[in-house]
Amino acid sequence: MNEKTTADLENLRDLIDGVDQQLLHLLRKRLDLVAQVGAVKHAAGVPIYAPQREASMLAKRRAEAENINVSPQLIEDILRRLMRESYLNEKDVGFKQVKQDLGHVVIVGGEGKLGQLFTQMLTLSGYKVNSIDKNDWQNADVIFDGAGLVIVTVPINVTCEVIADKLTQLPQHCILADLTSIKQKPLAAMLDAHKGPVVGLHPMFGPDVGSLAKQVVVVCHGREPQAYQWLLQQMEIWGARIVEAEAERHDKAMQLVQAMRHFSTFVYGLNLCKEEADIESLLQFSSPIYRLELAMVGRLFAQDPELYADIIFAQQGSQHAISDYLDNYRDALTMLKAGNRQEFVTQFQRVAKWFGDFAPQFQHESRAMLQSVNDMKAG
Ligand SMILES: C=C(O[C@@H]1C=C(C(=O)O)C=C[C@H]1O)C(=O)O
């Protein structure tokens, strides 16, 4: 580089640094305003997540961006990232308590990660929360006395047993809920053990979400829905989206969404391990999509094997779904071994037709994900 180039670059880079510093101060200002919104919402019991406000704000900023020749997608990406920050910050001021006269909450399995998250959210909403774990059952009478809500969040393989053995003497008007990732059996066990209000919940997220904004909670109604309506409302204030489902339909969906998904991921990892793949060099050659895929597989093995064993072994029906998958895999392999390229193209088109409008929609969504994977690369 000659001297003039160096000087020009330095000059421009100084100006860019100045703009970035201004951006930083604007971010501080925005965060402060969002904190004030949080306080107003907290006082009024308005949900943390406001989809209409977001949609109209994004539409306006996109249009304004276009007017000044800024990519609308750029401002949308930035605003969406800022809104994620808002959910986290709004959370810290706490939430309105929907049910004032509840009595206390007991989380059965409160030491678990999901139990801790619910303890935190309920506490931020003004409820008194106690927890009962494996070693506390000798004090059960005292702990459950006066409870208005009991939430069971113990490993799936002991859930029904804990409900049937330990939760038969709850106060009559107490709500009994569970957070298990299957719903038919726990719901039946709860209805059996307790004569008061019962509701099955399945939070469709891990305990590391940070905020419940936009996260889905599946609700399977058990008994006396009017008695636990406030709880659904409370979760909506946390930002969650409530999706009602029949327990049977939910469990069937979980065979694909969870059991089969995680099992395939497990086998993918097992295969890499047995083949002694060299992750370092795979990463060197990786395309963004491979990097994303490897991250999705790798993250499984950073977690608790017991949790995934619970999910995969929870339902007999999952074995059918997984074996159908294996059959399809085998058929596809036969096609490959036979060199039947034409058949591959035909099957490909069949699947594409079946995906319909979802295929281009998913292509669009995944493009943004792949680009952020690329953004994260350093050096
Ligand atoms: C700040 C608010 O809360 C959330 C965050 C928003 C933001 O950061 O702009 C917008 C809408 C809400 O989902 C609000 O409601 O205005």
Cβ(179) – ligand 1 distance below 6 Å: no
Residue 76 pLDDT? 96
- CA 265, chain centre distance (Å): 18
Cβ(54) – ligand 1 distance below 6 Å: yes
- Half-sphere exposure of residue 283: CA atoms within 13 angstroms, side-chain side: 9
Cβ(50) – ligand 1 distance below 6 Å: yes
Residues 6 or more apart from 281 whose CB is under 8 A from it? Answer: none
Q: Which atom of ligand 1 is nearest to the CA of 53?
A: 11
Given a cut of 50, the residues of the chain with pLDDT beneath it are none
Query: Among 102, 128, 107, 103, which residue's Cα sits nearest to residue 117?
Result: 107
- Fold equal for 3-91 and 104-245: no
> Which residue bears the tokens 């490909």?
348
Cβ(247) – ligand 1 distance below 6 Å: no
Main-chain dihedrals φ then ψ at residue 216, nearest 5 degrees: -95, 135
* Distance from residue 23's CA to the centre of ligand 1 (Å): 19
* Distance from residue 236's CA to the centre of ligand 1 (Å): 15
Domain 104-245 has CATH 3.40.50.720: yes
pTM of the entire predicted model: 0.89
> What does the domain layout of the chain look like in residue ranges?
3-91, 104-245, 250-375
* Distance from residue 213's CA to the centre of ligand 1 (Å): 11
pLDDT digits (tens, 9 = 90+) for 328-359: 999 999 999 999 999 999 999 999 999 999 99
Cβ(46) – ligand 1 distance below 6 Å: no
Q: Which atom of ligand 1 is nearest to the CA of 86?
A: 8
Right CATH for 3-91 from 3.30.360.10, 1.10.150.20, 3.40.190.10, 1.20.59.10? 1.20.59.10
Main-chain dihedrals φ then ψ at residue 182, nearest 5 degrees: -115, 160
The pick from 26, 28, 32, 37 for probing ligand 1's pocket by mutation, whose C-beta has the most ligand atoms within 8 angstroms, reads: 37
> Which residue bears the tokens 């904190």?
35
Which secondary structure element, helix H or strand E, spans residue 358, and what is its range?
helix 358-375
Residue 379 pLDDT? 64
Residue 88 pLDDT? 87
pLDDT digits (tens, 9 = 90+) for 268-284: 999 999 999 999 998 88
